Structure 1
């Protein structure tokens, strides 16, 4: 594709990371201009010795949730001169080889926000555990309904790219920072009128377990869905009033 990645920052939210964080950093450090690791209140300070180039660590004094870490990383990336921010997990669940594809729609001016889509990848039935795949299809269906986002193919994918000069248009502080944040983020992106692109990305799993129980999801999801509908309505109304 020939996309210049010098203006790209990879944002890595991390809470109590293991050795996979070093693998992620080693893979991305020579591909992009900036790397921003957000330590979301880990009990041990995250160190990035041996990482070449412009690697920054932003630290939260306590655990505030994954989306709060993402927001802090995006804002830091914007402040240090990056133009595009790509979110990648500290556990290696995002395929680094898809990075250029994620950046491309923004780099060529076709999108303001890019969402990864694992469910359409050829290897998804083999790579993604069955229960997770069913859950992702269900949550994506609900997302389409409550966010009026019929085009979304994989609402829960955390592999995302942002055009950083558009951040001020998104009320990121209002998004619930923990379970369910993808739903509220999509609601805000649609409501604020950002151009959205989706890129098929390879699903990567290595025995990871979900951080929330089925019961916890059942309790929290209606709350998140109602908030997402409200955010979609508010952002749409604000955009219309602002012309």
Structure 2
């Protein structure tokens, strides 16, 4: 990676909640290209902030504290705000449990410094040989969440949406609605949704699956329903904003036509089928054809809309164009 013109351009945020066994090793592995390291004690019962101040002498480290637990999203937003105030150009989020290799950090930062991306994130699914290290439940859960997230975020070319190894341009981060972003396990996907509404460019960075002795707090069975609801909500919000509020394109009319025709097919066909079943007679061929043509036409319009949506993934970075917004 080409070295940044000033070391202070790169900062790292480490949410520090129950990571006292690993945090010292994580900080020690962060290279000299990083000038600022924010360890966010998110009301940790292990008092991680005190532990870090007592056991880590790295002058780059600064402990930020929450009086009340805000979740990983809240911790990251606190780090983002401080990095913006301190004049960093790029801020990287690394977990404190030792499962993210700090040696990969230059790969996450480089596309942003080159002006090719606004946000980068890890992808553990790029090498099929490596993902065998991932526990089966996590593997299946991440595959399902990846497909749901494509619709809700609009980034159809990305995978592994719950990957928390990320980097962002602070000029873009300063325009995020930080108070509205999900605070807990939906954070990684919700921030992608917010970035899409800004038309920010996001790039996947290949990385290996790496798991230590830390047990994940992300339980698929507990969050499946919550994630499904939030993905559906963000999908409707994104489509409404991108296709009917900010812009009106051919795809907007294709979507309206698709929904109208599919609704017609379901209601008209269903109503006549029910009445025919009640009367014990066959549904007239003409009625069947009307419902069938409406359904097929609706599906064609829906596929056309999806094709447009997939092709409209943001391609022009905002970094270098957006003026950083002042943080209060």
Distance 2:212 2:72 in 1: 20
TM-score (norm 2): 0.68
Q: Structure 1 regions of 5+ residues with no counterpart?
A: none
SS of the residue 2:15 aligns to: strand
| More strand by percentage | 1
The reply on whether 1:167 has 2:169 as its aligned counterpart is no
Structure 1 position 134, deviation (Å): 1.5
Distance 1:11 1:170 in 2: 17
Distance 2:188 2:233 in 1: 12
Distance 2:32 2:162 in 1: 28
Q: Structure 2 regions of 5+ residues with no counterpart?
A: 249-328
Question: Which residue pairs with 1:84 in the alignment?
Answer: 90
Distance 2:240 2:174 in 1: 16
- Cα deviations by residue, 1:84-110 (Å, 9 ceiling, x for unpaired): 000000101111121100000001111
Kindly tell me the number of residue pairs found equivalent between the two proteins. 241
SS of the residue 2:222 aligns to: helix
Distance 1:155 1:201 in 2: 13
Question: Which residue pairs with 1:138 in the alignment?
Answer: 144
Distance 1:204 1:77 in 2: 27
1:125–1:212 distance in 2 versus 1, CA, 3 Å: closer
SS of the residue 1:199 aligns to: strand
- Which range is displaced more, 82-91 or 26-35? 26-35
Residues 205-224 of structure 1 correspond to what in structure 2 (within 5 A)? 205-224=211-230
Question: Which residue pairs with 1:96 in the alignment?
Answer: 102
Question: Which residue pairs with 1:61 in the alignment?
Answer: 67
| More helix by percentage | 2
1:206–1:32 distance in 2 versus 1, CA, 3 Å: same
- Which range is displaced more, 210-219 or 72-81? 210-219
- Which range is displaced more, 157-166 or 42-51? 42-51
Question: Which residue pairs with 1:38 in the alignment?
Answer: 40
Distance 2:121 2:48 in 1: 30
Question: Which residue pairs with 1:22 in the alignment?
Answer: 24
Distance 1:156 1:145 in 2: 15
1:222–1:25 distance in 2 versus 1, CA, 3 Å: same
CA contact (8 A) 1:12 1:38 kept: yes
Structure 1 position 214, deviation (Å): 3.3
CA RMSD of aligned residues (A): 2.2
SS of the residue 2:188 aligns to: helix
Higher-Rg structure is 2
SS of the residue 2:78 aligns to: helix
TM-score (norm 1): 0.90
1:215–1:20 distance in 2 versus 1, CA, 3 Å: same
